[in-house]
Structure 1
Amino acid sequence: MRACCNILLSSLILSVIFLFHGVNCEDPYRFLTWKVTYGDIYPLGVKQEGILINGQFPGPQIDAVTNDNLIISVYNYLKEPLLISWNGLQHRRNSWQDGVFGTNCPILPERNFTYTIQVKDQIGSFFYFPSLGMQKAAGGFGGIRIWSRPKIPVPFPPPANDFTVLAGDWFKTDHRRLRRILENGGNLPFPDGLLINGRGWNGYTFTVDQGKTYRFRISNVGLSTSINFRIQGHKMKLVEVEGSHTVQNLYSSLDIHLGQSYSVLVTADQPVQDYYVVVSSRFTGRVLTTTAILHYSYSQKGVSGPVPPGPTIDIISSLYQARSIRWNLTASGPRPNPQGSYHYGMIKPSRTIVFANSAPIINGKQRYTVNSVSYVAPDTPLKLADYFNIPGVFYVGGIQSYPPGGNAYLQTSVMGANFHEYVEIVFQNLENSVQSWHIDGYSFFVVGFGSGQWTQASRAGYNLRDTVARCTTQVYPRSWTAIYIALDNVGMWNIRSENWARQYLGQQLYLRVYTSSKSLRDEYPIPKNALLCGRASGRRTRPLKLR
């Protein structure tokens, strides 16, 4: 009897251990080692010095599954400091890994740094890039694919293959020269061309089998130009935008603005031959175009006919398309519950922020501003200054919540916000060009587009039911775009123009999402391997008291 009781007790103990430990086992780790070097590249037929990762241009693809831990050791063999940033990865509780100068000290030449990133509760298509200076103009970017966990339903059958498309404008001018042009008060020249996966006209091939369906993940990794993407003779079914499953509308072409990523399904349902994959510049007086090849296996016939024309310079068709992109309310996201179970439109924002852009001359040089402030990088990353309570680096409230009017000025602009606030942000475009805005660490709901000046009456046109959640949005000329965002991620987060000249010359700020809590549930501690620079040099990290 006693033996039987001991067996039962042992079984009970094992069951409890399994319940509290077995089902909460640690998520998988993926280890990557990157060597970042210079190398000769010929993207437009002219020899250039590019930034390579493990000898590749573009850099290696990152593949992960929801909740995976990515351990990425980056060795900098350039002759200049380096940071890698992750466009669209949310870094839950962990802005220490964001890879922009507001949060991280640069990796100095001949040094290395290991990023530790968990793709917590994320799926979708994103990309990485070098964030310092104008290094993005030399390469160093690559695609990121985050796959759903095996038991989470995806709202379409598995495709026959999954292609990454990194497209965008390109300059033959060296990135250091581009930086000097900006620092001397000039504007970037018009791009020399467009690239698809690092290659020019017909330089890249996607091979398909007739009758099968393929997924194309398209990111605009350029510096200054919106693009239009299309495939000769084929329709595209939109299925995902920056981590959100969408209503599966068909499109003949898609506008993809700076920093944005789209995922489409394409069925190879045409006669066996080759077809053009086309990227052209959008909203430019002179239209740039480049092509890749969609090659049907066993095809004996190359591409033929004229390259399919893109949309005209008009804004209306692009705006109509933007409004047609909707959230798939019944599809699961990273978790098994439907995306539509989060009723974003039923939550009343506690605060409204209006960000207005402008392009003034300050001290005789071209600058770009948000609410009259042109951002100036401090000598110490903001996140470190905040952590060590270093005075004089920045102050919260260095930028106002509404356009103040008056003259533009230079300042390290940081806006304060409270953890768990639910905020309405309006991007007000006062200029005649299309703008593109990104918020690190977050996805947000794009609730409205409108022309002219935003007012409170503009809310009557908001989509409060099924607008898409994403991390980068466009703002049309002399227009506004409104978003709702739940500030559920503590940290120091970059809000920036995705036009890289504008970002470099001040069109950015940082949002300090704050809580007085020191719990690991809210924010991770400073990494043991954190690089310390500026006024933080030589300091020691404080141990975190667990709660």
Structure 2
Amino acid sequence: MRARINALSFIILAIFLCNGVVVINSEDPYRFFTWKVTYGDIYPLGVKQQGILINGQFPGPQIDSVTNDNLIISVYNYLREPFLISWNGLQHRRNSWQNGMPGTNCPIPPGKNFTYVLKVKDQIGSFFYFPSLAMHKAAGAFGAIRIWSRPRIPVPFPPPSGDFTLLAGDWFKTDHHRLRRLLDNGHNLPFPDGLLINGRGWNGQTFTVDQGKTYRFRISNVGLTTSLNLRIQGHKMKLVEVEGSHTIQNIYSSIDIHLGQSYSVLVTADQPAQDYYIVVSTRFTRRVLTTTAILHYSNSRKGVSGPIPAGPTLNIASSVFQARTIRKNLTASGPRPNPQGSYHYGLIKPSRTIVLANSGPYINGKQRYAVNSVSYIAPDTPLKLADYFNIPGVFYVGSIPTYPTGGNAYLQTSVMGANFHEFVEIVFQNWENSVQSWHIDGYSAFVVGYGGGQWTDGSRGGYNLRDAVARSNIQVYPRSWTAIYMALDNVGMWNIRSENWGRQYLGQQFYLRVYTPSKSWRDEYPVPKNALLCGRARGRHTRPF
């Protein structure tokens, strides 16, 4: 009988492999999505623009899933140019093949399609997807991702009466093709023209609530260049989750959301029945952009009134203080039924320290941006494919130093090497006068410290080694540093980048190659059979090892 069951399992496995699906667990459901990516007219700031729509929507459709779901997302590209979607915050366990960055995937050609096979393995929380090529993000094609806890896993707050998504970000009236040409000609992006909430301008979005009830708002900064601050007129916000980490439930009157970051807050409709402003404004900018949405009480007979609540602008100290108060809730379960604090990261000694310094040099007379003096240039073949097929001349490991060199900046396809199961300390050192925001694909890292000036070994004395929040988007304040601890438990080729999209486009990024000589599926899935092949990988065979 056991032999017959094993034979049947082998047949099912073979069927899945023939279709390029390698994530198999009969207990975890599959959710199927078909997305058609097209151009379309949009009017987000009252001016007609060519937007990039998904199934005719701007922003794109929301993805709802539950921990460990398998997501099958078929993307059809009806644009006149190549296109890629990436997934901000999804960790793609053992599967950087699905990351959707140019260093890991070939673009979807015009008129073609690609099916992503994702598994939200051991994840909960609030995230978003976005287009990763060129300046497509300046035209749309982004949307929210909500990963709900499994029913048997306790959540550390009562079920809210509603769950709202708020995608906020800066916006340009200039066409994304012109913005790209501006960058290609060696210029930085201009100051944005306005702010949007869910793709709409001033008072364009209404959230309806019942008096006395509590609601969850999932807030993401999907913009290109600026940090944001959010507040709700007359209401407090209770922070409950940051990019998959349940937090200590502090109360805030306003929250800073840096580029790429996502937060969940609970808001109780405990004020007199009327309408209230939800305000988003730029942070750390001398010229302040502001937009609003409406919090509408269902029994309200009075519209919004009074002055729009003022927010912090240039004050950095208040933002640093708030960042330090955001801590992990050690008594709450995460995606599994054990407390999040059971992983004692503070007792692990890092195997090495990596220091990453950002800069904005001119190279060959053009504006570029760099990490440790290296400004990334894209190769003709995705790095992941070149690594898998052992294609020489595309990149070499160690093409970016692990410490700032202080030397002249230069162009390079930069790849840093790391070993599977290392536990590393990464310090982001910022000597510029602007706030920086960094993203690490494939990982969630413990943000253990913020500090001013130059980071030194002595800076570790101020680290939070008990309840640091884990996230994939990290801000670094002007002339300051931010330190993270990260367990390299996810094999693959992972993008580390500035979330300021102009800086990323002009080279402030690199790839981290987390390597193991093992060929076990336990460590990394093989190349999918449906993988698109381009550059020097064209014509190769993609059969699993």
- TM, length-normalised to structure 2: 0.96
What is the match of residue 442 of structure 2?
Answer: 441
What is the match of residue 542 of structure 2?
Answer: 541
Letter of the aligned partner of 1:425 in structure 2? Answer: I
What is the match of residue 395 of structure 1?
Answer: 396
Counterpart Cα distance in 1 of 2:313 and 2:324:
18
What is the match of residue 160 of structure 1?
Answer: 161
What is the match of residue 100 of structure 2?
Answer: 99
- Whether 1:246 aligns to 2:247 is yes
The CA deviation string for residues 206-265 of structure 1, in whole angstroms up to 9 with x for no partner, is 000000000000000000000001100000000000000000000000000000000000
Q: Would the aligned equivalents of 2:529 and 2:543 in 1 still touch at CA under 8 Å?
A: no
Counterpart Cα distance in 2 of 1:121 and 1:389:
32
Query: What's the secondary structure of 2:180's corresponding residue?
Result: helix
The CA deviation string for residues 147-171 of structure 1, in whole angstroms up to 9 with x for no partner, is 0000000000110010000001000
The CA deviation string for residues 478-530 of structure 1, in whole angstroms up to 9 with x for no partner, is 00000000000000000000000000000000000000000010000000100
What is the match of residue 235 of structure 2?
Answer: 234
Counterpart Cα distance in 2 of 1:526 and 1:268:
50
What is the match of residue 204 of structure 1?
Answer: 205
The CA deviation string for residues 429-449 of structure 1, in whole angstroms up to 9 with x for no partner, is 010000000000000000000
What is the match of residue 134 of structure 2?
Answer: 133
Query: What's the secondary structure of 1:67's corresponding residue?
Result: coil
What is the match of residue 21 of structure 2?
Answer: none
Query: What's the secondary structure of 2:484's corresponding residue?
Result: strand
CA drift of 1:55 comes to 0.3
Describe how 1:274-313 pairs up with structure 2 within 5 A: 274-313=275-314
What is the match of residue 324 of structure 1?
Answer: 325
Counterpart Cα distance in 1 of 2:281 and 2:322:
17
Counterpart Cα distance in 2 of 1:299 and 1:52:
34
Describe how 1:396-475 pairs up with structure 2 within 5 A: 396-475=397-476
Q: Would the aligned equivalents of 2:62 and 2:144 in 1 still touch at CA under 8 Å?
A: yes
Counterpart Cα distance in 1 of 2:85 and 2:178:
21
Query: What's the secondary structure of 2:528's corresponding residue?
Result: coil
Describe how 1:82-93 pairs up with structure 2 within 5 A: 82-93=83-94
- Whether 1:183 aligns to 2:192 is no
- Whether 1:531 aligns to 2:525 is no
Query: What's the secondary structure of 2:323's corresponding residue?
Result: helix
- Whether 1:344 aligns to 2:345 is yes
CA drift of 1:62 comes to 0.1
Counterpart Cα distance in 1 of 2:407 and 2:395:
22
Counterpart Cα distance in 1 of 2:543 and 2:340:
39
What is the match of residue 259 of structure 1?
Answer: 260
What is the match of residue 174 of structure 2?
Answer: 173
Counterpart Cα distance in 2 of 1:350 and 1:501:
33
Query: What's the secondary structure of 1:345's corresponding residue?
Result: helix
Counterpart Cα distance in 1 of 2:37 and 2:237:
35
Counterpart Cα distance in 1 of 2:193 and 2:299:
35
Counterpart Cα distance in 2 of 1:278 and 1:132:
30
Letter of the aligned partner of 1:184 in structure 2? Answer: N
Letter of the aligned partner of 1:153 in structure 2? Answer: P
CA drift of 1:400 comes to 0.5
CA drift of 1:405 comes to 1.3
Counterpart Cα distance in 2 of 1:354 and 1:312:
29
What is the match of residue 28 of structure 2?
Answer: 27
CA drift of 1:26 comes to 3.4
Letter of the aligned partner of 1:185 in structure 2? Answer: G
Counterpart Cα distance in 2 of 1:512 and 1:209:
50
Q: Would the aligned equivalents of 2:528 and 2:544 in 1 still touch at CA under 8 Å?
A: no
Counterpart Cα distance in 2 of 1:338 and 1:416:
32
Counterpart Cα distance in 2 of 1:430 and 1:362:
19
Query: What's the secondary structure of 2:447's corresponding residue?
Result: strand
CA drift of 1:543 comes to 3.2
CA drift of 1:301 comes to 0.4
Query: What's the secondary structure of 2:402's corresponding residue?
Result: coil
- TM, length-normalised to structure 1: 0.95
Counterpart Cα distance in 1 of 2:490 and 2:400:
21
Letter of the aligned partner of 1:269 in structure 2? Answer: D
What is the match of residue 375 of structure 1?
Answer: 376
Counterpart Cα distance in 2 of 1:537 and 1:25:
34
Letter of the aligned partner of 1:143 in structure 2? Answer: A
CA drift of 1:542 comes to 4.3
Counterpart Cα distance in 2 of 1:180 and 1:25:
48
What is the match of residue 70 of structure 2?
Answer: 69
The CA deviation string for residues 50-105 of structure 1, in whole angstroms up to 9 with x for no partner, is 01000000000000000000000000001110000000000000000000000000
Letter of the aligned partner of 1:68 in structure 2? Answer: D
Letter of the aligned partner of 2:383 in structure 1? Answer: L
The CA deviation string for residues 376-420 of structure 1, in whole angstroms up to 9 with x for no partner, is 000000000000000000000000010011100000000000000
Counterpart Cα distance in 2 of 1:92 and 1:217:
24
Counterpart Cα distance in 1 of 2:201 and 2:543:
50
Counterpart Cα distance in 2 of 1:473 and 1:479:
13
Counterpart Cα distance in 2 of 1:374 and 1:528:
33
Letter of the aligned partner of 2:146 in structure 1? Answer: R
Query: What's the secondary structure of 2:458's corresponding residue?
Result: helix
Q: Would the aligned equivalents of 2:429 and 2:454 in 1 still touch at CA under 8 Å?
A: yes
CA drift of 1:187 comes to 1.4
What is the match of residue 500 of structure 2?
Answer: 499
Describe how 1:509-528 pairs up with structure 2 within 5 A: 509-528=510-529
Letter of the aligned partner of 2:49 in structure 1? Answer: Q
CA drift of 1:25 comes to 3.4
The CA deviation string for residues 77-136 of structure 1, in whole angstroms up to 9 with x for no partner, is 011100000000000000000000000000011000000000000000000000001100
Query: What's the secondary structure of 1:337's corresponding residue?
Result: coil
What is the match of residue 213 of structure 1?
Answer: 214
Counterpart Cα distance in 1 of 2:315 and 2:254:
14
Counterpart Cα distance in 2 of 1:473 and 1:265:
23
What is the match of residue 39 of structure 1?
Answer: 40
Query: What's the secondary structure of 2:539's corresponding residue?
Result: coil
Counterpart Cα distance in 2 of 1:98 and 1:290:
32
Query: What's the secondary structure of 1:416's corresponding residue?
Result: strand
Counterpart Cα distance in 1 of 2:147 and 2:542:
32
Letter of the aligned partner of 2:324 in structure 1? Answer: R
Q: Would the aligned equivalents of 2:282 and 2:313 in 1 still touch at CA under 8 Å?
A: no
Counterpart Cα distance in 2 of 1:478 and 1:288:
24
Counterpart Cα distance in 2 of 1:158 and 1:373:
48
What is the match of residue 78 of structure 1?
Answer: 79
Counterpart Cα distance in 1 of 2:48 and 2:533:
37
- Whether 1:223 aligns to 2:224 is yes
> How many equivalent residue pairs?
529
Counterpart Cα distance in 2 of 1:414 and 1:529:
26
Query: What's the secondary structure of 2:177's corresponding residue?
Result: helix
Query: What's the secondary structure of 1:460's corresponding residue?
Result: helix
CA drift of 1:312 comes to 3.0
Letter of the aligned partner of 1:517 in structure 2? Answer: S
CA drift of 1:298 comes to 2.2
- My pick for the range that moved more, 452-461 or 533-542, is 533-542
Moved over 4 A (4+): none
Q: Would the aligned equivalents of 2:168 and 2:221 in 1 still touch at CA under 8 Å?
A: yes
Query: What's the secondary structure of 1:151's corresponding residue?
Result: coil
Calculate percent identity across the aligned residue pairs: 84
Counterpart Cα distance in 2 of 1:344 and 1:243:
17
Report the structure number with the largest CA radius of gyration: 1
CA drift of 1:541 comes to 2.0
